[in-house]
Amino acid sequence: MAKSKKRVIMLADCQSFYASVEKAAHPEYEGKPLVVSGDPARRSGIILAACPLAKKYGVTTAERLGDALRKCPHLVVVRPRMAEYIRVSLHITDILQSFTDLVEPYSIDEQHLDVTGSLALFGNPVEIARRIQHRVLYETGVYVRVGISDCKVLSKIACDIYAKKNKDGIYTLEREELAETLWEKPVHEMFMVGSRMTRHLYKMGIHTIGDLARTPLPRLTDRWGVNGEVLWRIARGIDSSPVTPHSQLQQQKGVGHQMTLPRDYTDWKEIQAVLLELCEQVGRRCREKGLMGCVVSVGCQGADYDRPTGFSRQMKLADPTNITDEIYGAACLLFRRHWNNLPVRRVGVSLSDLSPDSLVQLTLFGDRDRKRDLERATDGIKRKFGETAILRASSLQDSGQAQERSLRIGGHYK
């Protein structure tokens, strides 16, 4: 029986992606510490990306903008442009696909590649990695680090632990050498191990990745169930999952939206305006996907994360729907039933238990057909002329967020 060919899997990671895109677009920022940060005026002043020069001043991702400015008063602060970052990310995907058709996005700035079948065309793995680096840098101005191994999880570790620290930004993690390389590293450096998990592992006498790999599996599964096995498999580099270009297109379980409000909402009418906007977005997404759902979920949170308040509840509808008014009616019922009148800062609505909308339950009462026709018409107007081409009157109130949200992608400015 012929021996299977050893896979060559890479993870291409863009260094300080958002910041790199901004520096490439603005040559005047060359040699200056730069960060990409949300809008402080709307309570979203968090560092999304910091260039290597900013990091030398101690600036870190996810810290508050005010703290970063205290560390580096001459910091260049740029508001995010998500549409541009998505465009550049897709351009990088196109570059990677010129080396192999097996490219799987892991995040906006990280992508896996299976180049096993490309070696005869483009050279050995390191040569391919260098060619990728050169093309991405030349065409986008973004520097890419590349981790190389024989599976996705080890290529991710090769990139995170080694390639990001190497001068040439490339590292090959050989499976046969894990005991002398990876297993000697502190356990907190391993992918999927955060500070809280590190403390738990220390209490179990597990201090290195090797300690974790040599721990009997039942001991970990007894403590954490399937998550314990996941950690054990990562430490041992066990990952047979293929690089699948369309792996993200799996069966959708639900459609939801949530928003963080610019201030505390305490008035029911203000909350109603936001609920209606969320229900409209959920309904529209379902209609675009040809789906409807039976279960409406509503949740909210207060502003004080040290003393959390809020709730998350759901209810099953008599018939599946994707009609905004029907989703909104259930959302309001749930909210009024479970809200304790404390200030609200975050609100979310989702629709689940999905089914195709090709089969519609007929009802003797109501005007569902007219509502569906009306919503298809408004969906078409928004698709052609933009999200704010047609709005409900409640969205024009101070409490409405539809116009502000139309300027953003994923919560950040386009």
Instruction: Note the pLDDT tens digit of each residue in 326-335.
Output: 999 999 999 9
Give catalytic residues, as residue numbers.
Answer: 110
Model confidence over 377-408: pLDDT tens digits?
887 887 777 777 777 777 677 776 766 665 56
245 part of a folded domain: no
Q: Is residue 78 part of a domain?
A: yes
Do 166 and 190 share a domain, yes or no?
no
Q: Could you tell me if 115 and 122 are in contact, meaning their C-beta atoms sit under 8 angstroms apart?
A: yes
CB 349 within 8 A of CB 342: no
Q: Hunting for tokens 């639900």 — which residue is that?
A: 254
Asked if residue 157 has pLDDT above 70, the reply is: yes
d(CA 148, CA 171) in angstroms, rounded, equals 6
Do 296 and 199 belong together in one domain?
no
Domain assignment present for 251: no
Asked whether residue 249 carries a pLDDT value surpassing 50, the answer given is: no
- The pLDDT of 367-373, averaged and rounded, is 76
Give the pLDDT score at 202.
95
| Residues 197, 163 share a domain | no
Are both 63 and 205 inside the same structural domain? no
- Same-domain status, 304 and 284: yes
pLDDT in the model for residue 309: 80
Contact 112, 243 (CB under 8 A): yes
Q: What is the pLDDT of residue 318?
A: 86
Which residue(s) pair with 146 in the sheet?
Answer: 12, 170
Examine the domain organization and report whether 277 and 395 are in the same domain: yes
What tokens were used for 145?
């680090």
Does a structural domain hold residue 246? no
Same domain, 167 and 190: no
In terms of domains, do 164 and 289 share one?
no
Residue 12 identity: A
Look at residue 360 and tell me whether its pLDDT is greater than 80.
Answer: no
Closest listed residue to residue 292, CA positions, set 364, 372, 363, 347: 372
User: Is residue 353 annotated as involved in ligand binding?
Assistant: no
Q: What is the pLDDT of residue 262?
A: 83
Q: How far from each other are the two terminal CA atoms of the chain, in whole angstroms?
A: 55
Q: Is residue 169 located within the same domain as residue 192?
A: no
Under 8 Å between Cβ of 59 and 45: no
Q: What is the span of the domain harbouring residue 213?
A: 182-236
Whole-model pTM: value is 0.70
252 vs 47, residue with greater confidence: 47
Which of the listed residues 140, 173, 206 is the one where a domain comes to its end? 173
Looking at the domain assignment, is residue 41 inside a domain?
yes
Residue 260: per-residue pLDDT: 84
Among the three residues 153, 173, 193, which one is the final residue of a domain in this structure? 173
Ranges 186-195, 200-209, 282-291, 357-366: which has the least confidence: 357-366
103: left (phi over 0), alpha (psi -120 to 50) or beta: beta
Nearest one of 252, 206, 247 to 228, comparing CA atoms? 206
**Would you state the structure tokens that stand for residue 315, as one six-digit string?**
């209810």
Residues above pLDDT 90, as percent of the chain:
59
Tell me, yes or no, whether 132 and 227 share the same domain.
no
C-alpha distance from residue 312 to each of 39, 254, 268, 280, 337 (Å): 28, 15, 17, 19, 11
**Mean pLDDT, residues 288-293:** 88
Q: Is the per-residue pLDDT at 409 higher than 80? A: no
Q: pLDDT, tens digit, for every residue of 31-83?
A: 999 999 876 554 447 898 999 999 999 999 888 888 899 999 999 999 888 88
For residues 3 and 51, membership in a common domain is answered with yes
pLDDT tens digits, one per residue of 181-210? 999 999 999 988 988 999 999 999 999 999
Mapped onto helix, strand or coil, the DSSP state of residue 400 is coil
Nearest to 36, CA basis, from 85, 75, 71, 79: 79
Q: How far apart are CA 349 and CA 3, in angstroms?
A: 52
Average pLDDT, the chain: 87
Helices marked H in 141-189: 152-157
The answer to whether 109 touches 89, Cβ cutoff 8 Å, is yes
Q: Is 369 annotated as a binding residue?
A: no
List of residues 6+ apart from 402 with CB closer than 8 A: 277, 387, 388, 391, 392, 395
Token pair 């953003």 is found at 408
Average pLDDT of the residues in 222-231: 93
**Which residue shows structure tokens 């903008």?**
65
Helices (H), 13-142: 17-25, 52-56, 65-71, 82-97, 119-122, 125-140
Residue at 404 is within a domain: yes
Average pLDDT value for residue range 146-153: 95
Domain count, the chain: 3
